[in-house]
Homo-oligomer: A and B are copies of this chain.
């Protein structure tokens, strides 16, 4: 496949295997938010490495603890198998970067259990309902940001996000107080969603806490995502909510629904407003 046919996301999360369990990555400045690189994008890179090294291909549940801010540039991913079972396999992975003094610094550590999504039963007894909000053409694109598109994080250009106008009060200085955020999610270049990209989707929207009046950088301490089904083609619906802001930390819950009304991913993160 020629490079031109590879999606921007796949190029930006590509790995080169240096030796068994060790991969080279290049963190793309196009996925930056401020000086650091987005946590969901990092999760997809770590998940790609584990998918290559574990005996099952798909992340079923992955927990990431963010240690230090990852910066655009070279990175190393190291994986370690914990257990390989018949249907599930568990492993750890870490992403490292070399700092100005030549010291290798750990950025993110993950622990994940993998399986094969195609082997799951077709049985669906989900009682959760997809979020209801207007179609994409009636939603707010960050490209229409009243503060100018330069005010958007770099990663905004990689995505086609359409935010429910009921949850963009924060962008006008009038947060609704609801602690909710909803959006349609697609890649700007039209790449279809898959298990790996869902891990970027769960951390791609503006924080739900913006609608509570929280501003500025909201670093993730820990994020756990469950991938429950391979997403159907088409735009995804993402619904975030924050219910427990206390003691200088907050949780954010995320649901991702595909075009066939399936709850394909659930995630929760613990974040610390600065």
Contact = CB atoms under 8 A, between A and B. Distances in A.
Interface of A: 60-61, 63, 65, 67-68, 82-83, 85, 88, 90, 92, 94, 106, 109-113, 117, 120-128, 179, 212, 221-222, 224, 226, 228-229, 242-249, 251, 262-263, 266, 268, 270
**What 10 pairs across the A-B complex have the smallest Cβ distances?**
A120-B247, A63-B63, A128-B243, A61-B222, A124-B246, A111-B111, A67-B83, A125-B245, A224-B224, A121-B248
A61 B112 CA distance: 15
By secondary structure, the A interface counts as strand
B92 A126 contact: no
A63 B263 contact: no
A176 to B, nearest CB: 12
A263 B249 CA distance: 13
- Identical copies in the complex: 2
A247 B221 contact: no
A68 B85 CA distance: 9
Contacts of A123: 246-248
Given A126-B245, A128-B244, A245-B125, A63 B224 contact: yes
A247 B121 contact: yes
Contact of A113 (B65, B88, B124): B65
A268 B245 CA distance: 17
A200 to B, nearest CB: 19
Contacts of A251: 226, 228, 266
A107 to B, nearest CB: 10
A270 B107 CA distance: 26
27 contacts: A60-B221, A60-B249, A61-B221, A67-B82, A67-B83, A67-B90, A68-B83, A82-B94, A82-B106, A113-B222, A113-B270, A120-B246, A121-B248, A123-B247, A123-B248, A124-B247, A125-B212, A125-B245, A127-B242, A127-B243, A127-B245, A224-B268, A226-B251, A228-B247, A229-B246, A251-B266, A268-B268
